[in-house]
Structure 1
Amino acid sequence: MVVTKAFGRSSAEVVQRESERLAALSQLDLLDTPRDEGFERVVRLIKSIFSIDIGLVSLIDAHRQWYAACSGLAATQVPREDSFCRYVIDNEEPIVVPDTTKDIRFAQHPAVTGETHIRFYAGVPLKTKAGHTIGTVCAIDRRARSFSSRDLTILQELSGAAMDRIELMQSAATDSLTEALTRRAFKQEADQLISLARRHQHDLSCIVLDIDHFKRVNDTHGHAAGDDALKAVACACRTVLRAGDLFGRLGGEEFAVLLPHIDRNGAEAVAEKLRLVIASQAVSGAYGTLNVTASLGSTSLSIIGKDVDTLLAQADAAMYRAKNEGRNRCVSWSSMSAEDGMNARRRVLKAGSILFNDRRSTIDCTVRSLGSDGASLSVSASTGIPAEFVLLIKGEGFETRCRMITNDRQNLEVAFC
């Protein structure tokens, strides 16, 4: 059984709907957030209720499907174009495929023909109250099977429970693992401190830090080691920061710091102190003893950078430059902007395309931040992307040539030519 819905939309309407969907996803600010036990419980229930191999709760942006929770698969994300769930996003309705080998859309898919051996798929939309499909909740098995209307109703109820969890998470202030502020709470409190700084004309700076090779820690030593590393980094940072500084966890291994009354030079000094204390801290457990490092980017309040999204986008870009230059180092936005003539950034979540090879080659991307002279892009993999290319932002009539400034696997910082 395949459940679909024909909308009869024009191309312009499809682009508009996708733009609205991405705006709703951006508003929730959930992509790449830490693992959540509420989502984990939903995927365990999916596996238990239906006696299947794989349960999945995912969010889907412009270029990828990110697994908010997954049991039964090793991956944490897949390119959107390779995802079964893209059909759920396109149709905004449940899809049930009893035998993938007999469905023309999936029969030749590598997940069907290869070692993953997917034979059954049921996916339902993860919808906001406003009706935007931001992701999926799925039941997947390695054997063909039937799925009754009652089963589908249960899966839809579990999707509703996942959406309830998302709404509850919007009010959470503290990350349970590291005791840092959640991304949403950090941004809310940062807004207030930035308003005060602008009103009273005092300095304020922002630092973003990301643990180096964190995936390698998880893959080599297990998630317990990764959790211990996150807690150790958070603890180390607190030994450097003042009581009035804000400290938040933005994503899996990414943290942010807001420093009231600290100027650009002061922020660079604090970033270096954070780098040193993180590198000097040993992480110990049943897996042995580990040493982790971090890459840090800093920026400061200015006429251009005067809101939390801009400050985070600028510090984020500087952090990726630090990673691109070898990791375990600090880079300031001011040094980048002076070198490359870069101005303000604003955080966005837009669908884009990277065009090269005389426009014969196309790679989908998500535009994470955008300014008048450059952008930050996310791709599934940056291999093969040339130093210069054309960036197209779908639905906005935006097209320009770009020069790559940094390339950290899945994250690109580009300047407009």
Structure 2
Amino acid sequence: MQTPEIPHNEAERLNVLRALAILDTRSEERFDRLTRIASRMFHVPIALVTLVDSHRQWFKSCVGLDIKETSRDISFCGHAILGNDAFVIADASKDPRFSDNPLVTGAPHIRFYAGRPIRTTLGFKIGTLCLIDTEPREFTDKDIEDLHDLALMVEHELAAIELATIDDLTEVNNRRGLIMLAEKYLNYFTRHHVYASLVFLDLNGFKFINDSHGHDEGDRALQTFGRALKKVGRTSDICARLGGDEFVVLLANARHHEAHIYIERLVAYLDTIRQQQRQPYRISFAHGIVEFDPQLPKSVEQLLIEGDALMYQLKKLTQR
């Protein structure tokens, strides 16, 4: 059996996928409608909207299967997202890449597979719209065209979610995306006794950048800061812009002292970028760190209030 390769942009791809805050959510009619149409249009017993996570493929919509996910190692969709067009297997039992795959030798006994990658607005391939049959079959050029059209409809629905949860300028989560995703994280942390840290950040002198160098440069400063937050963090961290020059990072599995290390790395990275790009100003910030204790859990809003207060205290001290 051939396991899927990892895309070259895997870290960024996973960041975009998780920023959608769609993994492990309830079924939605707008996606279920499309898998029903796909099943009827192509006369296949199974049609799925899959999202390929780091170690699993999870089904946002599913016709014909009782499970919600499988391991990425044995997934057909893990292969499909490596290409740009439809990935078609006429008879998996005769394909050396899949003939001994447990999804072929056992339930659901896949023989035919066709999956078209689904992309975000930024072009990241996060999953597929796929068709599965228990009998071998051919797939014509017309079939590929029709599957492409249905996949575009899935992408349009994802774009609606993306626009509602992603900050257009910095391409990190907006406040809504942060709340949606962080609530799931905190519930998981509470159940599994995982510590975390929320870092509340506010840029220093942002008005000066706008007034002295223009609003276009101010926008570039915000974009640079948003990219820096993701660059020095991990794919499991949540980065968000609350609005204006206020940002938040939720560091998974990180205690207070580890959050300070993140801050030190962020400062160093911003200084490096300043030197490389010869920026005429320095991007600096005040911050407040709140540790999440799974034994005394707090809501996202509580953490934000406490982080904001701590950040403001530090900002007052540095301005004296």
| Same topology, TM > 0.5 | yes
Change (3 A) 1:317 1:131: same
1:29 equivalent among 18, 21, 28 = 21
The aligned residue for residue 59 of structure 1 is 51
* Equivalent-residue separation in structure 1 for 2:184 and 2:108 (angstroms): 38
**TM-fit CA distance, 1:372:** 5.0
Q: Aligned with 1:129: secondary structure?
A: coil
The aligned residue for residue 86 of structure 1 is 78
Instruction: Check whether the contact 2:87–2:114 (CA below 8 A) recurs between aligned residues.
Output: yes
Change (3 A) 1:315 1:110: closer
The aligned residue for residue 369 of structure 1 is 252
Change (3 A) 1:129 1:139: same
**TM-fit CA distance, 1:53:** 0.9
Q: Aligned with 2:100: secondary structure?
A: coil
**TM-fit CA distance, 1:71:** 0.4
**Where does structure 2 lack aligned partners over 5 or more consecutive residues?**
166-172, 200-229, 237-250, 259-292, 295-320
Paired residue type of 2:139:
F
Change (3 A) 1:169 1:344: closer
Aligned positions of 1:108-147 closer than 5 A? 108-147=100-139
**TM-fit CA distance, 1:320:** 3.4
Deviations along 1:249-271, whole A, 9 cap, x unmatched?
Answer: x59xxxxxxxxxxxxxxxxxxxx
The aligned residue for residue 380 of structure 1 is none
Change (3 A) 1:71 1:374: farther
1:48 equivalent among 35, 40, 49 = 40
Change (3 A) 1:35 1:15: closer
Deviations along 1:322-370, whole A, 9 cap, x unmatched?
Answer: xxxxxxxxxxxxxx8xxxxx5515798738xxxxxxxxxxxxxxxx924
TM-score of the superposition, structure 1-length normalised?
0.43
Change (3 A) 1:373 1:63: farther
Aligned positions of 1:13-412 closer than 5 A? 16-170=8-162, 187-188=175-176, 309=182, 313-314=185-186, 316-321=188-193, 342=195, 344=197, 350=235, 369-372=252-255
Paired residue type of 1:69:
S
Instruction: Check whether the contact 1:313–1:345 (CA below 8 A) recurs between aligned residues.
Output: no
**TM-fit CA distance, 1:169:** 3.3
**TM-fit CA distance, 1:318:** 2.0
Greater strand share, 1 or 2?
A: 1
Change (3 A) 1:129 1:105: same
Change (3 A) 1:171 1:21: closer
CA RMSD of superposed structures (Å)? 3.7
The aligned residue for residue 197 of structure 1 is none
Paired residue type of 1:54:
I
* Equivalent-residue separation in structure 2 for 1:163 and 1:171 (angstroms): 12
* Equivalent-residue separation in structure 2 for 1:374 and 1:36 (angstroms): 41
* Equivalent-residue separation in structure 2 for 1:44 and 1:56 (angstroms): 9
Deviations along 1:373-401, whole A, 9 cap, x unmatched?
Answer: 799xxxxxxxxxxxxxxxxxxxxxxxxxx
* Equivalent-residue separation in structure 1 for 2:16 and 2:99 (angstroms): 33
Instruction: Check whether the contact 1:314–1:345 (CA below 8 A) recurs between aligned residues.
Output: no
* Equivalent-residue separation in structure 1 for 2:94 and 2:257 (angstroms): 46
| Percent of matched pairs sharing the same residue | 31
Q: Aligned with 1:344: secondary structure?
A: strand
Q: How many positions carry a matched residue from both structures?
A: 205
TM-score of the superposition, structure 2-length normalised?
0.55
* Equivalent-residue separation in structure 1 for 2:50 and 2:18 (angstroms): 15
**TM-fit CA distance, 1:170:** 4.5
Greater helix share, 1 or 2?
A: 2
Change (3 A) 1:50 1:16: closer
